[in-house]
Structure 1
Amino acid sequence: MTGSDLPWGPLLAAYVVLVGLSSGLTLVTWWLNRPGGSAAPSIDRYGAWGAMAVLVVISVVLVVDLGRPERFYLVITRFENPASPIAMGAKLIAVKMFLLAVVIYALERRSPARANRVSVVLVRTVVLTSFALAVYPAALLARSWGSPLANSSGSALIFVITALLMGAAAVLIALSVVRVRSEDLNGFLHRTREALLVLLCAFGISLAFEVLSLAGRPSDRLLLSQLLTGGFAVVFWGVVVTAGIAVPAVGLLVFPGKRAALVASAVAVLAGAATARYLLFAVGH
């Protein structure tokens, strides 16, 4: 399947964003929940359910984009073209949904101790699959849709960082909206806030080096001008840099104990990270 088979538009953009959110939820809950504690099984459970819900939405998007459910089934089950990014992504999604279903069953139906043992067996595979899905849009957009920015040197890193940002932001929103009372959940909330600040710094640095790397070849400089001063400049500077990095960084640093500030900052991070993924998809077309 090539880019000409599918329309260039909102469905593919939503797919690229949602794949990052699902991957980020899994990676962030695994990363920040390693200290354990009495709340660890609950965090694992909610993270697994959240990632599964996003994957279900992604599957619906794929079915709609492909036109018929049987085409989605064929993309998952056939192996004639294993190098196809679309087929590879669909198979990774199917594998992750199966693994998450097993993890959810273990967490919901068995004793906490046994569930933890089962989760330990599966967690590395789930994490590796999630990491692969976080990077995967770079190959999808560069090969199947010919997105010039997705073919740049730093696109894979940006896809990973934005996935982690969206996952951390979603977790922070969930923990801030509910009444966090236990010491363990408060500790997880604090770790999520700190991780979000670190990821925002990493995001800003990766964007800066991506801009520097695009200042070389004439074709790349044309892309850079579209991004910085052309038709995408307002979106890049306004949504990604200002609303997605600067504003939430200030909110997280200045108002660390204010729930409203945490939620607003996390929503801004979600918007900025999702927009950055969209720009990697759209600039140059």
Structure 2
Amino acid sequence: MSSPTNSSILVHKNETEADRVVSPRVSRGGALVWYGLLVLAMVAGVVAFIIRAKEGLASTGLTTITPWGTWVAFYIYFVGMSAGAFLLSTFIHVFGMERFHKVGREALLVAIISMVLALTFILLDLGRMERFWHVLWYFNPTSVLAWEVRFYVIYILLLAAELYFSMRQDLIRASRGTGWAARVAAVCTLGSKDLSEESVKRDHRILKVLGAIGIPIAIFGVHGGTGALFAVAKARPYLNSALLPVVFIVSALVSGTALLIASYTIRKKVSGQIPDREMLKSLGGLLALFLSIDLGLEFYEFLIGAYGLEATELATLKTIFAGQFAWSFWGIQMLVGAVIPLAILAYPRTRNSPAAIAAAAIMVVIGIVAVRFHIVLPSLIVPVMEGLPEGYYLPTWVELASSLGVIAFGLFLYSLAVTGLPIDVRQEIDKGVKENE
């Protein structure tokens, strides 16, 4: 029996000029409407950005008591999306789980774009945005943030390299065509025409090495490290927990898997293609597993925090469970983001339906937004010393419009990438893998 990798190589070796990646079939009118909406949202974001740059943080709802808000919440949201999507890609390239190979490239693409958005959000949050480069130029070895930013740079470069080598063979094929996509492909391949069996094997080896290097970077440096940024805040008992980085990592797997399911299914539906039912069922099972573990870790995080009987942490938990965040915790984080998706993924009829799995994934993506806000804001609401006023935060239109613009920018990049790059694995490879498994 041939391995999936060998079957892919045989198909590559015997391909013809007609063997192309299936390009999305989206109507011109639908594409114009979609890009038009994204451009409008990005224009609103640019206007808000200009106001933010001119007026500084005075244009936001942030205060000295509540210095973190919407931008920081979205920052950790997209870092988690990136780390989770990347770790899912390692199942394919490092551990050889070929049943997920159809989303391998999309996982890497989503990971890259998510990191771009995460760093854009944290740029907006800087008091002096023009000094963003200082964190790279000056290095304090005792600073968690100093290490974290360097891990981000290495991680993004690694993601870009891995995405490139996963597409390189199809980029060479695409460079033979005409149009702007072919010209871009020709530039990306540096004029290479090598489609030999040895070339394919070499690309597979490189992917495996890059993926193996990226696993500890993603776990300990990227999202685990982002969790450490919050966990070392000793003045905030709710955050100061050694379990928090672990919660961040598991939550990343939840959000990354959910986003990948949603993006893959929506893209296939919009382009008139049929999503892979069996692959979605497997991804849905992983999502249910990760979500269950995440809920268990959260339970112990809350339990241990309450058991310590520390007044500030108890007040923070009360703010989440029965205070001003109760509606979003119980309604969005727990009901929409966990209970309903788990029910969908557990019920036999719906867990076998691609549409139902995608709906569950979308609800998880929405629920994780609430999770991130509940990490950032509640601990800042409760005063850490007697006599200090309670924190208060309500995002201004500048924060909301800029956030909408950044997210629209990410969707714009994604739309361009899936149109111009060979994100889908060729049908011939898919067929060859199934026949030789």
Identity level (%): 26
Q: How far apart are residue 192 of structure 1 and its match?
A: 0.9
1:105-116 alignment, distance < 5 Å: 105-110=164-169, 111-116=199-204
Equivalenced residue count is 278
Q: How far apart are residue 69 of structure 1 and its match?
A: 5.9
Q: Is the 8 A contact 2:265 2:358 kept in 1?
A: yes
Aligned match of 2:327: 234
Q: Is the 8 A contact 1:45 1:107 kept in 2?
A: yes
Q: How far apart are residue 279 of structure 1 and its match?
A: 1.0
In structure 2, C-alpha distance between the alignment counterparts of 1:72 and 1:8, rounded to whole Å: 17
Aligned match of 2:318: 225
Aligned match of 2:131: 71
Aligned match of 2:359: 264
Deviations for 1:30-59, whole angstroms, at most 9, x for unmatched residues? Answer: 23663444872x533222111111112223
Which segments of 5 or more consecutive residues in structure 2 lack a partner in the other structure? 1-62, 170-198, 381-437
Distance 1:162 1:38, change over 3 A: closer
Q: Is the 8 A contact 1:142 1:151 kept in 2?
A: yes
In structure 2, C-alpha distance between the alignment counterparts of 1:78 and 1:141, rounded to whole Å: 22
Q: Which residue of the other structure, out of 288, 300, 310, is the alignment partner of 1:209?
A: 300
In structure 2, C-alpha distance between the alignment counterparts of 1:265 and 1:14, rounded to whole Å: 21
In structure 1, C-alpha distance between the alignment counterparts of 2:319 and 2:339, rounded to whole Å: 22
Q: How far apart are residue 230 of structure 1 and its match?
A: 1.9
Distance 1:31 1:137, change over 3 A: same
User: Aligned partner of 1:109: which letter?
Assistant: R
**Greater RCO structure (CA 8 Å; 6+ sep):** 2
1:177-192 alignment, distance < 5 Å: 177=266, 178=268, 185-192=276-283
Aligned match of 1:159: 248
Q: How far apart are residue 76 of structure 1 and its match?
A: 2.3
Q: Which residue of the other structure, out of 86, 111, 118, is the alignment partner of 2:206?
A: 118
1:11 aligns with 2:96: no
1:89 aligns with 2:148: yes
In structure 1, C-alpha distance between the alignment counterparts of 2:298 and 2:331, rounded to whole Å: 14
Deviations for 1:152-210, whole angstroms, at most 9, x for unmatched residues? Answer: 3432222112111101101211332216758xx54432221111111121122112212
For structure 1, which segment, 257-266 or 145-154, has the greater mean C-alpha deviation from structure 2 after superposition? 145-154
Using structure 2 for the length normalisation, give the TM-score.
0.58
Distance 1:38 1:163, change over 3 A: closer
For structure 1, which segment, 69-78 or 193-202, has the greater mean C-alpha deviation from structure 2 after superposition? 69-78
In structure 1, C-alpha distance between the alignment counterparts of 2:295 and 2:233, rounded to whole Å: 28
Aligned match of 1:280: 375
Deviations for 1:134-168, whole angstroms, at most 9, x for unmatched residues? Answer: 21232212346954322134322221121111011
Q: How far apart are residue 85 of structure 1 and its match?
A: 2.8
Using structure 1 for the length normalisation, give the TM-score.
0.86
In structure 1, C-alpha distance between the alignment counterparts of 2:137 and 2:99, rounded to whole Å: 40
